[in-house]
Amino acid sequence: MSAPLFLLRSDNVAARRIGDELMIMFARDSSLFSLNETAALLWDAADGRTPLAEIVTRELCPRYDVDPATALRDATELAHGLAERGILQVGDRPFAEGGDNA
């Protein structure tokens, strides 16, 4: 079993929902990202305290009728991709108040 993973929305982005998509603008350089429904579910649930495995079980598996192991693997890859772009923060323990996980 792998270590738990926690997600937190970055605070230097602006977000707006348009239909099933979530538009994210990165404040630093005004980059614009369009998150699909799955990525938007992760964004919405990224409170810094809930383990990704719980988010997958609660939000993704029932919606997409996918097994938990596959969903967790895919969600982990997606979360790391969003973190590389500065949209989410990813950590191996819950984030402290204010978003610092150091």
For residue 24, give the H/E element and its range.
Answer: strand 21-26
Give CA–CA dist 86/99, Å, rounded: 13
| pTM of the model as a whole | 0.85
CB-based burial, 51-62: b 16+ in 10 Å, e otherwise: ebbebbeebbbe
Per residue of the chain (102 residues), give pLDDT as tens: 578 999 999 988 999 988 778 999 987 888 899 998 889 999 999 999 999 999 999 999 999 989 999 999 999 999 999 999 889 999 999 998 755 554
pLDDT digits (tens, 9 = 90+) for 44-71: 999 999 999 999 999 999 999 899 999 9
Ordered by start, the domain boundaries in the chain are: 6-10+37-89
